[in-house]
Chains A and B, each alone.
Chain A
Amino acid sequence: MGKDIVLKANNINKYFREPTLFHVLKDISFEIETGEFVSIMGKSGCGKSTLLYILSTMDTDYEGQLLLSGDDLSLKTADELAYIRNRDIGFIFQFHYLLQEFTVLENVMLPAKKLGIKSLQEIEHDAMEKLRLLGIADQAKKLSMRISGGQKQRVAIARALINSPSIIMGDEPTGNLDSKNSQNVFSILKELSQEEKLSLLVVTHDLDFAKKTNRIIEMADGRVV
């Protein structure tokens, strides 16, 4: 075997039917190994976000095969996919998507509570651990709408980490941050991939950022080039 494949895409095709038939993704195939830090680059509108929504199982309207740790995702029901998203996939958005009226700590704990494997104390302990790792433990009790953009993005990363997923995906996770903050977030991700053997797949426009990752997947006009 040698290589351990966490995510494998096989001939993914996607069409938008509205307003006119539009072939967005064309025969996309690639693999990501466990512990690999991969970035996706490409011109605006080439289909990066669309691909990521499919890989993260939120979009099921596609053709082709998708394997997560060898498990065929194209055959699963919506509820099964929700469970897989909860347990195996961490997602970081461009806009720091947090539940506004919940505290930072609650936001991080929520996916673990939903998974329901650990006790509440363990979950809280783990969540604090992740926040400490990202250097925002002191913000834990604040409402998530009352912290800065960079802090929010780090909370989102902590939330993506809480269930120790097989892979973390990010759609321009630093796109909304200033260069200092995006440096910061990048180094956190890099560290995680090296020290925790975490697999990462990140869409970015930042070439400097991409160059520091293990591998760049270049996209153009709906294809991998």
Chain B
Amino acid sequence: MAKVRTLRSALVWAFMVTAAASGGLLFWLGSAGRPWPWGFSLLLLLSSLAGAAGYLIAEEFARPLRQLVASARELGRGRFGKMVWADSGGEVGELVDAFNAMAVYLERTVQELAETNRKLEAILTSMENGVIVVGRNLEVLRLNPAACRLFELPEEAVKGKGSVIQLIRNYEVADAFAETLETGTPVVRELQILTPVERSLRIHITPIRSEQGEVEGAVGVLSDISDLRRLERIRADFVANVSHELRTPLTSLKGYAETLLDGALDDPPTARRFLEVIQQEADRMARLISDLLDLTHLEARGQTIVKSPVRIEEVVENSLRVVRPAAEKKGIRLEVDLPSDLPVLWANADMLEQVLINLLDNAVKYTPEGGEVKVAVRAGRGVMHISVADTGIGIPREHLGRLFERFYRVDRARSRSLGGTGLGLAIVKHIVERHGGSVGVESAVGRGSTFTVTLPLKD
């Protein structure tokens, strides 16, 4: 406001001075030539008229200017949409028009910027990868929520304050950023962080350059590749396991075949014994391969399994028939506990049989002579529980967690000598899960184990 007032008075003064000057000029003209007695009063009148006109003209100028100033202030505060309305023509009019055009342009630009910002913000916030933006001196300018989560930083760290090493306190991450800033080239690194949680991280840092090409900062994108690395490890283990499991029988096949060719063939009783071993080992390889194929099929998730109404009594009976010879050989009693009014179960009968055979086979295998194996079926609310309990050697607690992994065996040597490959329970677990059920185990060393399968009656 103060400025407007000064402007106005300046204009008024300017007119007064011009008026006085022109009055003075006339007076001088008058006194130099003919005397003009009334001239002085006329001059006075003229000059006051000029003064008044000047004031009015000044007002006329100042009003739109005042509005302009007020609107410019509003603009400065970020309030758009206020136009200056003035019908003054000439230069002031042009100024007003230019101002209005600028206001519209500014409003649009600011809105666009805000929109871009909102989009960027949304992208940064919803990204699963961590993003860290640093300035020329390694000061952190931005961190997205994912980056905060990776390093368990409080949310307010999002704004960034301090350098990388202050905020994240991992020298490898800080070093990678420093290298990018120094060399001006992208850096890709894989690192293992131990705290707060152990993770494998891949960090990809790209320099940010100014229009002049100077490095002004860098953007780092961090991805958590722990799962990937773990899967790779599992796969590598799997391949190693399969190769091992195949090589062992193969070695003995080769060994016995060579011995036979070297002369054992001429001794029929020995030859027969060797051929029996060869057959056993070949059987074992065939079983391993068919188990692996089963597992592969089960893991191919896309395929759905075909279910039909199943009478569990039949499945139990069929499975028992398979293991009965082995049980009898070891003098193990097979017991069955089947209530009479069991509901119908929707399942794949063949697969279910495979589950029971695997569990019963284990129970007989890992139970010493004279023990007992019992199958019990119970109906629950919408589910059916099938359990296989034995009085065998039991499983130490620390192994229970990994029992259902492929190739996992508590006692490698013992299981091998019993012909096991460690795939049985993995197959059980897969089948049960494909049916939407679950499998669990309880065991006490030296007293026995109970495996319980729970299946939904219908899905």
Chain A complexes with chain B? no
**Which residues of A approach B to under 8 Å, CB–CB?**
none
**Which residues of B approach A to under 8 Å, CB–CB?**
none
